[in-house]
Structure 1
Amino acid sequence: MADYKVNEVFESIQGEGAFTGVPSIFVRLQGCPVGCSWCDTKHTWTVDPEKQKSVEAVMAEQQESEHWFLLTPAQLISLFANKGYKAKHVILTGGEPCMYDLMPLTNALIEQGYSVQIETSGTFEVKAHAETWVTVSPKVNMQGGYEVLQQPLRIAKEIKHPVAMQKHIDELDQLLARGHHQSGVLVYLQPISQQKRATQLAVDTCIARNWRLSLQTHKFIGIE
């Protein structure tokens, strides 16, 4: 059975994209080489063996850290039950979750009646159950030097693109011009850091293209 390096697990409300407002269990996996400058989870980038701790120790932490624990899919599902989580939607995020083979984990979750969403940069192949909702937030020209791959775009149900300036819109146009995405894929623009200029650009572009606006609702209402 596969083991996964987990940075944190918590229950909250999804604040972004198509599932905004849906009660969700977030599973944040450790490790990401993409290197987005605006990333708000940089503590998940490095997998340091010295930072491994017990499940109990990491779950008891009250602030973000580089600590992680190792769990199998069955152990993770048991953790949900032990914590008394009620949500039936699980979001696999990171870090970059697709650094891992997510087929065993997504299979186990779906067999237990959960719906599953993956949030990925699109720079690694997605290995997951066919019913998984794949959200690609394409990261173009990041310091890690990784390219956005065709396979994640092809299976994505949702493309959620962070924008701060026009060049980010242009980058998305170039990705979509490749034609590797599904015809009915939902396209969201998400202003980086809720900047006023970025937000107006996103609003104007969404109206012009008939795309959708994604705001980080959880940050507005002060939840994790």
Structure 2
Amino acid sequence: MNYKINELFETIQGEGSFTGQPSIFIRLQGCPVGCSWCDTKHTWDIELADQVSPEVMLNKTEETVQWANFSAEDVLALVKDKGFQAKHIVITGGEPCMVDLTPLCAALEQQGYSTQIETSGTFEIITTEKCWVTVSPKINMRGGYKVLASAMSRANEIKHPVATEQHIDELKALLAQHKVVNTPIYIQPISQKKRATELAIASCIANNWRLSVQVHKYIGIE
């Protein structure tokens, strides 16, 4: 099975439970959800005209729509060839759960890597048992997709971007609908602006949730 990869790089995880963890990010191409604040809109569309060789994709110096096909074995070979030291791998997008991630995660886990998926919760999550699933539920987005009960029940953590009280209300309704009780809840300001951050902090204190502040953006890394 081949995966359409837009980026593959080593950095520090800046969000959620693994904040500060050295990580290898695999960014897949394709997402129909349509979040207005998305900071990776270049990964939305899958166009055959944008397919390039793995070498061209890996040598990109800026964000582009270009993607390349990689098998799980190709990914493992590349990680070793690059000399990456991180043992945690984050599969994101785009919307990674548009495809079956089991072959990729299984191959990585067999080589001693831990795996994590970051998903909107609007597609069935098909992966290994060991994989850590971060659901960032996208509610009432332009694409019209619904957050799935199966995704909410599979989530190891829920990470919700907020800018307004409406976002908080939508999350509370979603948690009540799916009877989420013990899953860690992270609230993440959509921007680094004071108002959004203050709302996130107040909501965390009021509801015993946790704060995620996108550390990578504050320290200026990818």
For Structure 1 versus Structure 2, the TM-score category normalised by the shorter chain is over 0.9
Q: What CA distance in whole angstroms lies between the structure 1 residues aligned with 2:156 and 2:64?
A: 31
Q: Look up the match of 1:164.
A: 163
One-letter amino acid of the counterpart of residue 174, structure 2? L
Q: CA deviation at 1:179?
A: 3.1
Match runs of 1:23-62 below 5 Å: 23-62=22-61
Instruction: Confirm or deny that 1:105 pairs with 2:82.
Output: no
Match runs of 1:118-129 below 5 Å: 118-129=117-128
One-letter amino acid of the counterpart of residue 108, structure 1? A
Q: Look up the match of 1:212.
A: 210
Kept in 2, the 8 Å contact 1:150–1:180? The answer is: no
Q: Deviations over 1:140-182 (max 9, x none)?
A: 010000000011110101000000000000110111002354x
Q: Look up the match of 2:68.
A: 69
Q: What CA distance in whole angstroms lies between the structure 1 residues aligned with 2:189 and 2:8?
A: 26
Q: Look up the match of 1:221.
A: 219
Q: Which residue of 198, 201, 214 maps to 1:200? A: 198
RMSD: 0.7
SS at match of 2:9: strand
Give unmatched runs, 5+ long, in structure 1: none
Q: What CA distance in whole angstroms lies between the structure 2 residues aligned with 1:178 and 1:107?
A: 32
In the comparison of the two structures, how many residue pairs are matched? Answer: 222
Q: Look up the match of 1:85.
A: 84
Q: What CA distance in whole angstroms lies between the structure 2 residues aligned with 1:76 and 1:143?
A: 32
Q: What CA distance in whole angstroms lies between the structure 1 residues aligned with 2:161 and 2:192?
A: 10
Match runs of 1:5-20 below 5 Å: 5-20=4-19
Q: How does the TM-score come out when normalised to structure 2?
A: 0.99
One-letter amino acid of the counterpart of residue 211, structure 2? L
* Aligned sequence identity (%): 59
SS at match of 1:207: helix
Q: What CA distance in whole angstroms lies between the structure 1 residues aligned with 2:129 and 2:3?
A: 20
One-letter amino acid of the counterpart of residue 73, structure 2? A
Q: CA deviation at 1:10?
A: 0.1
Give unmatched runs, 5+ long, in structure 2: none
